[in-house]
Amino acid sequence: MGRPRKDQQVDLGRAHDITVGMIERLACPLDKDQVFLRSSKVDGLRVRCTRAGAKSWVYESKVAGRTFRRTIGPVSTLTIEGAEAKALTLAALVKVDKVDPREVERDRAEAEALAAERARLEAERLAAEAAAREVKVVEAWAAYLAERQPFWRERTYRDHVDLAHRGGEARKRSDKLTKPGPLASLMSKRLVDLTDETVREWARAGAAERPARTRLALRLLKAFLRWASAEPAYRGLTDPAAASGKKTREAVGAPRRRDDCLQREQLGSWFAAVRALPNSVISAYFQILLLTGARREELASLRWDDVNFRWKGIRLADKVHDEGREIPLTPYVQSLLAGLPRRNQWVFASVRAIDQSPKGVKRRALYHASRGSEAPVGDMVEVSVSGRITDPADAHRRACMAAGIDGLTLHGLRRSFASLCEWLEIPSGVSAQIQGHAPQGVREQNYIRRPLDLLRVHHEAIERWMLSEAGIEQLSGAGWDRVRAIGAGAYVQPTALG
């Protein structure tokens, strides 16, 4: 048989051994959308030609009784041998494996998409872990304070802030810069670097300079690490036991137990020295501190609004109860308060003499100019920044030296109140309630409720005994008439009370 002419139409009614020339002669009539040239070598392989003249390899078969047709590729780029190989692969799936190639491809696409998604998530996880490992302690510390502040007392929150501050700020009335807090050196470290060894070295260095503050900082750090280990954002980055090791506790040492306490025989000398102090506010503060057994800051922060002269009560801020606690206003304490001037809202207001030397005037002008305030001129006293006494320990040390008493601290006066009460036959729970200690035992916690009147009976007995041992004359009836005048706004000096 001779070679067919180039314009000779291919017989599409039967299968052919497809050749390049046959593909070139394939054409689609104008009355049809597409025609197929079937291969005799590979069952299901066809060449499709559209009315527009586009030609491509196609595989066609039956799958589950339905026609399956898949374009293999254009004839311009795919050879006859390549098309036959792809058609045989599809035929193996359809006729041998009885599988729909579309499902295979769909499954493969889903598997590839799933693998890509897993790879993306893994990359994000690794990036998140890498970023988390770079989280600084100061960032987690800030989050810790923000979350826990509503559950803390103000003093607890201030301790967390002060112990972690970086220092460098000028004090309010001094050019000296504040020291960094004990935890400041840890704030710049990464959270993952707070290991047992790191905390131990930090504790050893801090204990050599500030052992008490370092012990407090260690307790706060221990609670912080426990919190961070339970937080999803920091879980796995911290060791909750990093601040709890035995060697770390040994590095900061145990707190020194203080035993400073006034003896019964020392009451006279102590009262005489304290009453001789030139500052009547500080003198009254020290005496009331002993006669009430209050904590130093509880009493220093007492406001006039907290003193009830009519019903003889004092409301003190309390370490245990947020609403504070009320104690009796005993006679001698009332006489001391009667002699105090009302300079501001604080009972124990603080003032100081102004240095009128040229150097003092210049220094004061520079200080107030740096704060945008106006320096007082001509007055001999000015109220301190806080408006109340804040650190009268030096005055107390001088009074104790004059009395020949060594090592008695302001907190030792609180210890003295509790110890001296043992000389009197009063329930131990009474002095504990006056001092603001938490009730001990089932009876104290759940059954005994002492009203202010009952506390006053015992508290006045304690005061009378202390003053008697100190040799201080008790107020007479006429003296009490003068004290009661404070309700009308008349204030008298303690020395005028008989």
Q: What is the pLDDT of residues 243-288, one digit of tens each?
A: 888 888 888 888 777 888 999 999 999 999 999 999 999 999 999 9
Rounded to an integer, the average pLDDT of 336-352 is: 87
Mean pLDDT of the chain: 83
Residue 384 per-residue DSSP state? E
More confident residue, 476 or 379: 476
Domain, as residue range, for 76: 20-104
Domain end call among 220, 252, 284:
252
Out of 371, 388, 405, a domain closes at 388
For residue 1, being part of any structural domain is answered with no
Q: What is the pTM of this model?
A: 0.59
Q: Compute how many other C-beta atoms are within 10 angstroms of the C-beta atom of residue 323.
A: 8
Are residues 145 and 230 part of one domain? yes
Is 7 domain-assigned?
A: no
Q: Please write the tens of the pLDDT for every residue from 349-369.
A: 986 645 556 666 676 677 666
Q: How many domains does the chain have?
A: 4
In the chain, % helix, strand, coil (3-state, to 5) comes to 50, 10, 35
pLDDT at 174 over 50: no
In the predicted structure, residue 348 carries a pLDDT above the cut 90? yes
What lies within 8 Å, CB to CB, of 217 at 6+ separation is 163, 181, 182, 183, 206
The reply to whether 293 and 429 lie within a common domain is: yes
User: Cα dist. 373→61, 344, 364, 369 in Å?
Assistant: 96, 19, 11, 6
In a domain, 3, yes or no: no
Q: State which of 252, 278, 310 marks the end of a domain.
A: 252
pLDDT band per the 50, 70, 90 thresholds, residue 483: very low
Residue 257 in domain: no
Domain at 64, CATH number:
3.30.160.390
* Lowest mean pLDDT, pick from 126-130, 380-384, 442-446, 468-472: 380-384
CATH of the domain at 338: 1.10.443.10
The answer to whether residue 487 sits within a structural domain is: yes
Same domain, 243 and 276: no
Q: Which residue has the tokens 């945008």?
A: 372
416 and 296 within one domain: yes
479 contact partners, CB below 8 Å, separation of at least 6: 335, 497, 498
pLDDT of residue 126 exceeding 80 = no
Structural domain contains residue 230: yes
Evaluate if residue 481 carries a pLDDT over 70: no
**In which residue are the tokens 């607890």 written?**
156
pLDDT for res 89: 87
Give yes or no: residues 194 and 210 share one domain: yes
Q: What is the reported pLDDT for 404?
A: 93
Rg (CA), the chain: 46
In the predicted structure, residue 178 carries a pLDDT above the cut 80? no
Same domain, 145 and 238: yes
Instruction: Encode pLDDT of 37-60 as tens digits.
Output: 999 998 889 999 999 999 999 999
pLDDT of 275 reads 94
User: Are residue 444 and residue 295 in the same domain, yes or no?
Assistant: yes
- Residues 373-426 have pLDDT tens digits of 555 544 444 455 678 888 889 999 999 999 999 989 999 999 999 999 999 888
Q: Which among 350, 351, 353, 352 has a CA at the least distance from the CA of 302?
A: 350
Residue 112, in any domain of the structure: no
Are 314 and 359 members of one domain? no
Question: Does 493 have pLDDT greater than 50?
Answer: no
State whether 403 and 384 are in the same domain: no
- The verdict on 286 and 143 lying in the same domain is no
- Same domain flag for 218 and 163: yes
CA 72 to chain centroid, in Å, comes to: 65
| Predicted confidence band of residue 237 (pLDDT cuts 50, 70, 90) | confident
Say which amino acid occupies 308.
N
Same domain for 71 and 178?
A: no
In a domain, 297, yes or no: yes
Tell which wins on pLDDT, 170 or 456.
Answer: 456
Please indicate whether residue 484 or residue 449 has the higher confidence score (pLDDT).
Answer: 449
